[in-house]
Structure 1
Amino acid sequence: MSDLVAKIPFLRLLLPAVASISVSAFLIELTYSWIICTAGAGAMAVSFFVSERKQFTCRWLFGAGLFIFVFGLFSFLFRQKIKESQWRFADKPTVCIGTVVDVPREKPRSFACNVKISYPVSHKIVAYLQKEDRVRNITPGDEIVFVAQIRTFKNFGNPDDFDYVRFMRNNGFSGTTYLSSSNWHPTGKEHASLYVSAQKVRKKALEFYRMFELDNDAYSFISALTLGYKHDLTNELQEAFRASGTAHVLAVSGLHVGVIYGIFAFLFSFLGKTGGRFVIKQIMTIAALWLYAFLTGLPPSVLRATLMLTIASVGWMGGRRGFTLNALAAAAFFILAFNPMSLFNVGFQMSFIAVLAILSFSPVLDSLYQPKNKIIKKSWGLFSVSISAQAGIFPIALHYFGTFPTFFFIANMLIVPLIGVIIYACIPVILLTGLKPFQFVIVDWLYPVFGWILKGLIFVVLKVVCFIETLPYAQLSDKPISTLQMMMLLFIVVTVFKFFTHKRVASLIAGLTCSLFFILTFTYAELSRKPVQLAVFNKPGFSDIGLYVDEKRVDFDIKENGFIPHPSKSILRLSESIYSHAETSRPFEIDVIVLSHDPALSIMQLTNIFRTGQIVLDSSIPLYDRIRLMSDCEKLGISCHDVGEDGAYLINL
């Protein structure tokens, strides 16, 4: 461990930071962070006063104090972030004043706006504005006043849903609301901040891209590729990139920032490679990189990549190998110091693991084969980088998404080089579009040529991605693994590469042993498999009934009015008041009655025909009527499960 810390000194800061955030999030809330920080600072101070003959014995004291201090500091930072997203709104409509901080995103029936409230409390919410033309004129920084009842985020309660509440909390949001056209008005004021200004520039860039005369898919692709704006991408196009293993090109990150760095490094190449002029070159390149990050709206992925390249450039200015594991650890530490919640961001995890894998594994693959032909050498380098990155992130992808793109290496070999060319091709199109109003003859001649080149390149990329998606077994899906299995799989990958590097039997034995336990986890999961369950899922506004098997939904046909097959229980589904005038001398015994669709259903009338101990209200019934039916059940002493409020109703088969 000491050798590792010597090579990567920023690990001394990163490890306690990650440990503190993890403990605070999953184990215990550390309320007295200042005591921990004081203890750590005290231990570091004592280490300076240790006598010379005891310095070797007590050499651990400073390191331990630093660990404790950073641990306490990040527990404080984590608590501050939690407070920013805590619920502090009244349970009734309230007058609020807030600032739109992002570009409004168009939805089927509304516009989603991220709003930073300044009155009556300071919190960030997601406001859904009724779709109308004036919403399109809203720009980041515009202040609005509105009357609304702000609600907390809520999970649907389905067994296969992700934790939406935790996700929004980690992103700093406290609640959500819907605003009709009469419930909000712009105040005419504007608020400026670095982030808001970046979003304004980003919106203008998106509007500028509309002048490229691209079709919808090409426009959404180029917006995602260069500005990181993915909201205009269709679900089909996003799925095609995911299935082909090239979804990373849609998120502006290390690949894109690296291309931009190469462009500016070339433009400033006249400054030379040594001496003071080289330092000026690096400073100008860093400034250009941060200008690009500002243009993209300062998304986390761009900030990560820009910060890593900035640290690397500083290293190059000092005559060192700038892009190292220590630079990676430093970038991770500073990002977590700015926002500890970034640790739980999937993009943060995957991007850093990908770079870590490239820095660690790519040299191993390069040493296995060293071609002399330049073209083959470039191709092999691209292949080794792609394999290394996927080796690092595929356990994480399996854990979060349960998918793995089978032909990722082929797709990346074809797509990644084209991505760089497309970014280069954008530059003349942007310049010529900006010169169009001046009506230069040469612009009118050159623009169609470069526009045709750009459209052709985008067409090729989209066709290749869609073709790879259609190949048999292009994507292994529905293969999720647990957190423990993910950690074991990462360990196996590391030991395999370590064995090829050092040829030590211990690494091979460790990897094989972990592989055995990894297989045993699947055996245990098979033995402890949950029984098949009938589920009434929570899908607002719809009736969604099916089976839940091995953590997956299975749909089957169910009658609108009739019995749902079950081996031991009688389950009746009713979707309309067909028994409102029926009479019987002896009520039928029914274990569970599922009510859906019809808001006029009456519990009193049903009890004249059926005797049951459980009534389930599915989410197709309007909220007001569910409240009425719940009240009737309570009066009659009948257990009632409201799927819309209580989550999915499950019953074993």
Structure 2
Amino acid sequence: MRLLQFFSIKFCLLLCLGILIGYNFQCSITIVTTGFASLSLLVATTFFIKKGSYKSPIFNITSYLWLVCLGVWLVIIHNPVLSPKHYTSLVSEFSKTYSIQFKVQKRLKPNSFNEKYVVDILGVNSQKCTGSMLLNQQKDSATNFLIPDQLYLVITSIDSINPPSNPNQFNYKAYLKRNYISHQLFADSTSISSLKPMEPSFTGMANNLRSKIVLSLKKTGIQEKELSIISALLLGQRQDIDPQLYKSYSKAGAVHILAVSGLHVGIITLLLLRLLSPLKRLKHGPLLIAIITSLGLWGFALIAGFSASVTRAVLMFSLLSFAHLFQKTSETFNTLAISAILLLLFKPLALFDIGFQMSYLAVISILTIYPLINSLWRPKYLIIRYPWRIFAVSFAAQAGVAPISILYFHQFPGLFFLSNLVIIPVLGLILGLGIFTIGLALCNLLSPPIAEIYSTIISWLNQFVTWVSEFEAFIIKDLYLTPIQTIGLYGLIFSIYHAITSKSISNLRLIGICIISCQLIWIYELNQNQKQEFVIFHKYKSSILGLKNNYNLQLSHSNHPELLGENNYYDYKISNGISNICEQDIQPIYKLGTQHLLVIDSLAIYNFKGLQPDIILLRHSPKISLNRLLTQFKPKLIISDGSNYKSFVERWELSCKQKKVPFHNTYEKGAFILNY
């Protein structure tokens, strides 16, 4: 708790609270700006009245409120949609075709059909504007990668980004919204025209630098798999990693090494500090070391393209290299808080990035938990001491990120220690040799033998990771935590740490309170899942119906079991704690509480004696007269799932609109869910 004496740490926590409030509640910019200005005046007035005293209760309260309001205000002013020059002010109907000028901001990971880019919009129908969109460029034989610092023109419609089709799936729309992207473009190579080069930018220079490095490495005969890992480790580009290889890294608990982040930058920092250690003998040697180290880190960030994770890690370790001069753990925490504040001031919604959360949690855990674990045992022999320290660091980092990792990924790699025991020591060699190889490549001095040696090391790394990933019994899957359960777990971890470090039995009460709180949260979540629910999942060309009763799920589907595809209902199964799944054929009638649901398939059989359905599901494109059906049954709702032809769906939707009957199209609205 002594850490809260630092103003920077209190500043960071209150700023985060304000950002949470600003993001989750729609606040008027006029009201927030007025409140922020008023609080600023009040803080200044209180400060001068109390003659510069920071210990006044009134000053503390007003300054705390000001920091929270600052967080709310930052969320609002960073929203580009509020700008009068945003493209949404020029677009009246998103379904129409527009002439759009853009430049590439960054390339994303492609899917099977499209190359994906985040693009900055510069003009719509020859009118200048601002904003960002997602561009989907259809893959074909003529597809060339789009490059930064180049002005492009495309004529296409502007489409909304769809929410997830099925319940509890990853919400890509919400993720893009946090990056201020709300719309997307679809185009093929022939519809995108290159207009003219633009003035060089850091992004463009970094892209050209990476292209030159990759081209030099390709000329030496390095294979695609090894080249993709080199690009990920050193250039921050993961887009071209083989999906199966990426999955192996994930299973082995080593996927974190593929994203240039705190681990890589930390190792590079240690290498630079070790290389520059002779400068300590100079008068201002430590300061000189910190400056050169920071410059080296920012040079690495340039090569890696200034991605969010790289920039975050480089800023953090640049400040930590200066904090290292004071040799105090408290100064390290202070520096961490300052780096987080600087990042959030320029991009407040970075608070919701998984990478941001995991980076800071891992560093904080290592700084706090590692010394405790390492003090439990101090081996005399280096051959034992080194693995023990690796285990202590890995365990400390995993203790900090495990709850949030389960929250987002629903699994925990049990062999993380084995992976880290081999990879972390080798990673220093890989990064050091990789930087040397890149230097040679940039100077056109890279010889095939050196490239072959480096490629072989990467190949051995891939083989080791693939071998570890084959022990699937050690991968703990199907785990689930809600956000409130995650917070409860972190509260318990903090209370245990506080009790150990303070060495006071009275703090055991705090652990007891946290345990009871966690149990109450778990009981509440269990009660929430004990309900009956009917779900019509969305799957293209198929029908999947689910009847949930407490922790049991009865799946009815139109597919062969091997073609069912667990991805369509996996997140629903995990999020609802489903322990038992049984399968059966789709029934013609379902009784859902007091309501009846009639299923009409391609056979179009629906004349059941005495049946008066409340809901009708249309599947596999039945050839029926919907107007006659609506007149006969007068249902409260018509549902069309993903098995129907879109031309049929459009015709049915029009009929329902004329009869004023609600129509649920899973293509547009996603899965249908009914609690009963």
Whether the TM-score (by the shorter chain) exceeds 0.5 is yes
- 1:34 aligned residue: 33
**Which residue in the other structure is 1:15 paired with?**
13
- Give deviations 1:316-367, integer Å, cap 9, x for gaps: 4577669711111011000001100100111101110111111111111122
Conserved? CA contact 1:37–1:70, under 8 Å: no
Pick closer, same or farther for the CA change 1:278–1:55 going to 2, 3 Å. Answer: closer
CA drift at 1:71: 3.0
Q: What value does the CA root-mean-square deviation take over the aligned residues?
A: 3.4
Compare 240-249 and 204-213 and name the one that shifted more: 204-213
Q: 1:263 to 1:39 in 2, by over 3 A?
A: same
Return the offset for 1:210: 3.0
- Supply the AA of the counterpart residue of 1:485: Q
Given the superposition, is the C-alpha separation of residues 601 and 231 from structure 1 closer, same or farther in structure 2, using an over 3 Å criterion?
farther
CA offset digits 1:63-100 (Å, max 9, x no partner): 44433333333322211222348854331222221111
**Correspondence 1:439-588 to 2 at 5 A:** 447-448=448-449, 450-539=450-539, 541-547=540-546, 549=548, 556-558=556-558, 563=587, 566=590, 573-574=599-600, 576=602, 578-579=603-604
Matched, 1:72 2:69: yes
Q: Which residue of 2 aligns with 1:139?
A: 147
Pairs within 5 Å for 1:250-261: 250-261=258-269
Instruction: Please give the residue correspondences for 1:244-323 in structure 2 after superposition, counting only pairs within 5 Å.
Output: 244-316=252-324
Per the TM alignment, residue 51 of structure 1 is displaced from its structure 2 partner at its CA by 6.0
Residue identity opposite 2:434 in structure 1 = C
2: distance between equivalents of 1:584 and 1:622?
23
- 1:396 Cα offset (Å): 0.8
Secondary structure class of the residue paired with 2:166: coil
After alignment, is 130-139 or 318-327 more displaced? 318-327
Shift, 1:284, TM fit: 2.1
**Are 1:202 and 2:210 an aligned pair?**
yes
Question: 2 CA distance for matches of 1:194 and 1:101?
Answer: 11
Closer, same or farther in 2 for the Cα pair 1:131/1:312, shift >3 Å? same
Go from structure 1 to structure 2 and tell me whether the alpha carbon gap of 1:556 and 1:281 turns closer, same or farther (over 3 Å shift): same
Q: Cα distance, 1:602 vs. partner?
A: 4.6
Q: State the Cα distance separating 1:645 from its structure 2 match.
A: 1.9
Q: 2:63 is aligned with what amino acid?
A: L
Letter in 1 for 2:14: P
Q: Does 1:399 align with 2:403?
A: no
Contact 2:102–2:121, Cα closer than 8 Å, also in 1 = yes
Select which of 426, 442, 445 maps to 1:418.
426
Q: Is the 8 A contact 1:40 1:69 kept in 2?
A: yes
Contact in 2 for aligned 1:159/1:551 (Cα 8 Å): no
The 5 A counterparts of 1:102-141 are 102-103=106-107, 105-120=109-124, 121-132=129-140, 135-141=143-149
- Post-superposition Cα deviations, 1:621-645, rounded to whole Å, max 9, x if no partner, equal 3544322111123445654321112
On the 8 A contact 1:314/1:322 being kept in 2, the answer is no
2:656 aligned with 1:629: no
The one-character-per-residue Cα deviations of 1:587-632 (angstroms, maximum 9, x if unpaired) are 9755654333448665257679988654321124354432211112
Q: Which residue is 2:80 aligned to?
A: 83
Q: SS where residue 424 of structure 2 aligns?
A: helix
Letter in structure 2 aligned against 1:498: H
TM-score normalized by structure 1? Answer: 0.87
Shift of 1:212: 4.8
TM-superposed CA distance for 1:503, in Å, is: 2.5
Letter in 1 for 2:457: L
TM-aligned CA deviation for residue 122 of structure 1: 0.7
Which residue of structure 1 lines up, in the alignment, with residue 417 of structure 2? 409
| CA pair 310-385 structure 1, distance change in 2 beyond 3 A | same
Give, as a single letter, the amino acid of the residue that structure 2 aligns with 1:97.
Answer: Q
Provide, for residues 411-438 of structure 1, a one-character-per-residue CA deviation record: whole Å limited to 9, x for no partner.
2222222222222232444355556x67
CA distance in 1, matches of 2:299, 2:204: 15
Distance 2:177 2:23 in 1: 12
Conserved in 2, the CA contact under 8 Å of 1:20 and 1:74? Answer: yes
Which shows bigger deviation, 22-31 or 303-312?
22-31
Structure 2: distance between partners of 1:90 and 1:616: 30
| In structure 1, distance between residues paired with 2:638 and 2:615 | 6
Q: Tell me if the contact between 1:123 and 1:174 (Cα under 8 Å) persists in the aligned partners.
A: no
Q: CA 1:112–1:537 in 2, change beyond 3 Å: closer, same or farther?
A: same
Q: Percent identity?
A: 24
Contact 2:537-2:546 within 8 A present in 1 as well: no
Residue 357 of structure 1: aligned partner: 365
Deviation at 1:498, TM superposition (A): 2.5
Aligned residues: 637
Q: Distance in 1 between matches of 2:356 and 2:381?
A: 36
CA separation in 2, counterparts of 1:574 and 1:231? 44
State the alpha-carbon separation in 2 of the partners of residues 160 and 536 from structure 1: 14
With the length of structure 2 as denominator, give the TM-score of the two structures. Answer: 0.85
Larger CA deviation: 403-412 vs 337-346: 403-412
